[in-house]
Structure 1
Amino acid sequence: MFQTFLLIALLVFASFAVFSDNIKRSVIYLGVFSLVTAVTYLHYNAPDVALAEAAIGVGLSTVMYLVATKKLSIYDICYVNEDVETFNDQSIGEIMDTVVRPLERFLERTEDFEPQLAYTNHPIEQIMQEDDHDIYIHRKGDLTYLYGNKSDQVFQDIVANMHEVIRDNQDIRVIYIDEVTDSERDE
């Protein structure tokens, strides 16, 4: 009975760690997983392995991961171009040098964020409903739209420093997601 409980607890905490949306919560679940693993080793009469698992898995690894995640701040950028069937170097390169790389440099230097970039050709409305990104870069014809929340201070800094961040910014429109209805987007 106790063995079954331990195995179920291991499966549950491993699943929580993998499927959690929050990275810090995932690290905590991994620490609990290591603790249950140490108890399992004790149950199977392996106290030396249990002690090592408790010291390294629960203590050292969890603390190191939490310190590492505290130092890492990610800013999630989603580039949407519905006109492209499949992304290749040419379709990515069209906007990479003019918008994405300068935006990445700005985030790294002034905001201390690590930019994380995703590319898609799905409709922008679908992406905004299904995914949660910090900023959306939507290419539509010759125009580029930047979508972000007015409450996001980093997005506000990008907009305020637009002339420094993106040199050729005549074809860029800024849209605040939390101020615009679905019918007003991209008009």
Structure 2
Amino acid sequence: MFQTFLLIALLVFATFSVFSDNIKRSVIYLGVFSLIMAVTYLHYNAPDVALAEAAIGVGLSTVMYLVATKKVSVYDICYVNEDVEIFNDDSITEIMNSVVRPLEKFLERTEEVEPQLAYTNHEIEKIMREDNHDMFIHRKNNLTYIYGESTDAVFQDIIANLNDVITDITDIRVIYRDEVTLDDGNA
């Protein structure tokens, strides 16, 4: 009976660690998985292996992964297209290759940050008020607006290298959120 409990617990925590949306939570699940493995080794009369698993798997590895994840910087980009009724992956195909992918590559290679993309069809004003993203890409008619803060060093680097990042910038407008409001009619 105890063996069945251990097996089920191992499967549950392995699944949680793989399918978790939060990387720190995944590391914690892996630590719990290692702890259950140590108990399993102890149950099968292998105390030396259990001690090694507890020390290395639970202690050292978990701490090292948590320290490593703390050093990973995420740059949060929100793509807004209010003209789309039901948003799915097909809705971003037009802008994905021309704007989003080049931005992601630039952020990964030059700025050494991990880009994270969210997309929605809600009103841009509402999203900018309620959500905390580093950068907004807003598709309106035939223009693409890029919103960011003038104090954001990563955003400043994107804008400074915009000609190198995106091949065709004729339909792109840059707006500094902290310098203008959307109610001014500038969007």
Same fold per superposition (TM over 0.5): yes
- 1:50-61 matches, within 5 Å, as 55=55, 59-61=59-61
CA distance in 2: counterparts of 1:65 and 1:163, whole angstroms: 37
CA distance in 2: counterparts of 1:150 and 1:175, whole angstroms: 9
For 1:94, give the aligned amino acid: E
Identical columns (%): 71
- 1:3-152 matches, within 5 Å, as 55=55, 59-152=59-152
Q: Give the 3 Å change call, closer, same or farther, for CA 52–126 of structure 1 in structure 2.
A: farther
> What is the number of equivalent residue pairs in this alignment?
153
Q: Give the 3 Å change call, closer, same or farther, for CA 77–185 of structure 1 in structure 2.
A: farther
Q: Any unmatched runs of 5+ in structure 1?
A: 1-21, 38-47
CA distance in 1: counterparts of 2:93 and 2:124, whole angstroms: 20
Question: Scaled by the length of structure 1, what TM-score is found?
Answer: 0.68
The more displaced of 174-183 and 96-105 is: 174-183
Q: Any unmatched runs of 5+ in structure 2?
A: 1-21, 36-46
Query: Cα offset for 1:129?
Result: 1.5
CA distance in 2: counterparts of 1:182 and 1:103, whole angstroms: 24
How much is the aligned-residue C-alpha RMSD, in angstroms?
Answer: 3.1
Q: Give the 3 Å change call, closer, same or farther, for CA 54–184 of structure 1 in structure 2.
A: farther
For 2:74, give the aligned amino acid: I
Runs (4+) off by over 6 Å: 51-54
Q: Which residue of 2 aligns with 1:163?
A: 163
